[in-house]
A = this chain, B = another copy of it.
Amino acid sequence: MEAMDSDMGPFCPKYHRAVELIGRRWTGAILRALLSGVSRFSALCETVPGLSDRMLAERLKELEAEGIVTRTVLPETPVRVEYALTAKGRDLDSVIGAVSGWAERWEAVEAASKP
Q: Which residues of A contact B (CB under 8 A)?
A: 4-6, 8-12, 14-20, 22-25, 27-29, 32-33, 35-38, 47-49, 66-67, 88, 91-92, 94-107, 109-110, 113
Q: Is the CB of A32 within 8 A of B11?
A: yes
Contacts of A106 in B (CB 8 A): 88, 91
30 pairs across A/B with beta carbons < 8 Å?
A6-B97, A6-B100, A6-B103, A9-B36, A10-B36, A10-B47, A11-B33, A11-B48, A12-B103, A15-B32, A16-B28, A17-B103, A18-B99, A18-B100, A19-B99, A20-B25, A23-B23, A23-B27, A67-B110, A67-B113, A88-B106, A91-B106, A92-B102, A94-B101, A95-B95, A95-B98, A95-B99, A95-B102, A97-B98, A98-B98
Contacts of A27 in B (CB 8 A): 23
